[in-house]
């Protein structure tokens, strides 16, 4: 056998498929225990320096996008593809053989001395055709659920679609995030689109829990002069100008005003998690950590909010000077923060929304793959092919034979059918 043939045979073999499935399962489970996307310092702090170096060397910090993970996935695709190419003519031949008179068919079970072969087929809900076998003997034969033979093949095809859709989506997809408060207009990353948040509402239930986050959006493409509007909420994205927009998350924003010796210096709208650099003293930075609408301090736990209502608003901030922390504290109500000649005021708290924009042209292929995989599994597991044939013997009685994918379970039905047909002898199992 040539080397190419050997490689082809190995790549398309079930042994290789099992090996890949086990390796993939092991790789996924190992990667799930390692926090993904962290730095060397983070891993060194949480594990050890040696482990951190190992994690980075093996690309375990981004395992699902690492070269070795992609290589396993590639081999799995090749295995599925080659397997399906090899099996296509074989299955087609088997399906054809299922509905043809038995020639060299291997019986999994047989019964002799059948007096009424029609009763056997009737019992099995099969309609027999008449023909003759290779020896010219009269034969009755029937098959059912031949389409079930395609089950595994269709399932493999579905998985190929799924992997292809996912991979192409990962390579080609574009996404961007925009956050802001109602009334703001911002560019959508570098997509060339402009997004206006017309309104943002938080639907609260009577018990103060959040029922829904809803944003009214208008998206424009200045280059083409097109504009589209829609309302998005969690679980209800909208497609605007070919992009899909999602209501992703929310948080608090506040107006931050800085005065220098009582004179206005700068004013900006800041979302929690953002910072403000003092314009005429860039080394001085005010970081907006968090906002608590109904503030309480729980000893041992820290600052908390007891409701979403503005009953006792408070702002947690950190002051940095030349990248060193000068201080961290909470401003309650209208308290002001004074740093030398500067006075900082946080005011007008309101909710901002985070809108995610995404364009993935291959999601449909991945979902089609999922659908085809399910169809394939249904065919493989629940459309069980079976073939039964009866050969007239010299004595005038019939010998009935059968083969089925479900094996012993069909054998039991076959046994009952053979008895209904007047079987004189016990069933013979081919393996016995």
Partner 1 sequence: MLQIENTLSTIVMLLYFAAMILYFLFIAFKRDSFSRVAILLQIIGFVLHTIALICRGIGAGRLPLTNQYEFATSFAWGLCLVSLIFVLRFHFPVLGAFAAPLVFVIIGYAAMQSKEVHELMPALRSNWLGFHVSTAIIAYGSFGVSFVLSIIFLLRDRMKEKGFLDQHIPNREKLDVISYRSVSLGLLFLTFTIVTGAIWAERAWGSYWSWDPKETWSLVTWLVYAAYLHLRLRRGWQGKSAAIFAVVGFVCVMFTYLGVNTFLPGIHSYA
Q: Check binding of 91 to partner 1 (CB under 8 A).
A: no
- Contact flag: residue 24 with partner 1 (CB under 8 A): yes
For residue 358, what is the enclosing H or E element?
strand 342-359
Q: Is 209 in the site for partner 1 (CB under 8 A)?
A: yes
# of chain residues touching partner 1 (CB under 8 A)? 50
Binds partner 1 by CB under 8 A, chosen from 82, 109, 121, 213: 213
Which CB, 100 or 428, lies closer to partner 1? 428
From residue 147 to residue 186, the character string flagging contacts with partner 1 as x (rule: CB under 8 A) and all else as - is: -------------------x--------x-----------
Sign of the Cα torsion 56, 62, 65, 68 reads positive
104 near partner 1, judged by CB under 8 A: no
Binding mask 363-382 for partner 1 (x = CB under 8 A): x--xx--xx-xx--xx-xxx
- In this chain, which of 1, 2, 3, 29 binds partner 1, going by CB under 8 A? 29
Piece in contact with partner 1 (CB under 8 A), picked from 24-32, 140-148, 292-300, 391-399: 24-32
**Cα–Cα distance, 332 to 293 (Å, whole number):** 10
Please pick, from the candidates 187, 222, 273, 407, the single residue that binds partner 1 as defined by CB under 8 A: 407
We find the least distance from the C-beta atom of residue 231 to partner 1, in angstroms, to be 14
Q: What binding mask, one character per residue, do residues 227-266 give for partner 1 by CB under 8 A, x or -?
A: ------xxxxx------x-x-x------------------
| Interatomic CA distance for residues 293 and 79, integer angstroms | 57
Q: Which is nearer to partner 1, 402 or 421 (CB)?
A: 402
Sequence-distant (6+) residues with CB within 8 A of 391 are 102, 133, 137, 138, 139, 398, 399, 401
Per CB under 8 A, the list member of 36, 48, 311, 347 interacting with partner 1 is 36
Dig out the tokens for 356 from the structure. 């995610």
Which DSSP state fits 106?
P
Of the pair 42, 64, the CB lying nearest partner 1 is at 64
Q: How far is the CB of 154 from partner 1 (least distance, A)?
A: 13
**C-alpha 204 chain-centroid distance:** 30
Q: How far is the CB of 12 from partner 1 (least distance, A)?
A: 13
Give the separation between CA 419 and CA 26, rounded to whole angstroms. 50
CA–CA distance, 425 with 109 (Å, rounded to integer)? 12
Binding site for partner 1 (CB under 8 A): 14-15, 17-18, 21-22, 24-25, 28-29, 31-33, 36, 64, 166, 175, 205, 207, 209-213, 233-237, 244, 246, 248, 356, 358, 363, 366-367, 370-371, 373-374, 377-378, 380-382, 406-409
């Amino acid at each position: 056998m040539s080397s190419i043939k050997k490689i082809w045979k190995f790549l398309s073999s079930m042994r290789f498929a099992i090996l890949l499935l086990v390796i993939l399962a092991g790789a996924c489970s190992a990667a799930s225990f390692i926090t993904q996307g962290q730095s060397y310092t983070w891993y060194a702090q949480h594990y050890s320096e040696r482990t951190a170096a190992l994690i980075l060397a093996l690309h375990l910090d981004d395992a699902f996008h690492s070269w070795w993970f992609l290589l396993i996935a590639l081999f799995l695709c090749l295995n599925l593809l080659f397997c399906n190419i090899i099996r296509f003519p074989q299955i087609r031949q088997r399906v054809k053989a299922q509905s043809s008179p038995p020639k060299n068919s291997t019986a999994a079970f047989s019964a002799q001395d059948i007096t009424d072969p029609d009763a056997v087929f009737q019992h099995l809900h099969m309609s027999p055709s008449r023909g003759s076998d290779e020896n010219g003997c009269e034969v009755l034969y029937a098959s059912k659920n031949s389409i079930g033979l395609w089950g595994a093949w269709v399932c493999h095809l579905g998985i190929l679609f799924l992997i292809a859709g996912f991979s192409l989506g990962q390579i080609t997809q574009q996404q961007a995030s925009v956050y802001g408060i109602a009334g703001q207009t911002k560019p959508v990353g570098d997509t060339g689109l402009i997004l206006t948040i017309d309104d943002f509402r938080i639907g609260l239930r009577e018990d103060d829990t959040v029922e829904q986050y809803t944003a009214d959006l208008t998206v424009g493409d200045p280059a083409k002069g097109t504009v589209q509007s829609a309302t998005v909420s969690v679980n209800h994205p909208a497609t605007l100008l070919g992009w899909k927009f999602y209501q992703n998350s929310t948080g608090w924003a506040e107006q931050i005003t800085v005065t220098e010796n009582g004179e206005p210096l700068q004013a900006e709208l800041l979302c929690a998690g953002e910072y403000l650099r003092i314009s005429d003293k860039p080394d001085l930075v005010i970081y907006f950590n968090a906002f608590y609408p109904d503030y309480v301090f729980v000893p041992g736990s820290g600052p908390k909010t007891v409701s979403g209502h503005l009953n006792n608003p408070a702002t947690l901030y950190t002051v940095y000077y030349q990248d060193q922390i000068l201080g961290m504290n909470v401003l309650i109500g209208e308290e002001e923060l004074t740093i030398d000649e500067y006075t900082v005021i946080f005011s007008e708290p309101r909710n901002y929304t985070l809108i995610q924009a995404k364009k993935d042209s291959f999601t449909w292929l991945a979902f089609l793959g999922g659908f085809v995989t399910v169809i394939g599994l249904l065919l493989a597991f629940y459309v069980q092919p079976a073939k039964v044939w009866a050969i007239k013997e010299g004595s005038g009685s019939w010998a009935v034979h059968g083969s089925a994918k479900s094996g012993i379970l069909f054998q039991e039905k076959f046994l009952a059918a053979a008895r209904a047909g007047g079987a004189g002898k016990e069933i013979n199992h081919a393996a016995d």
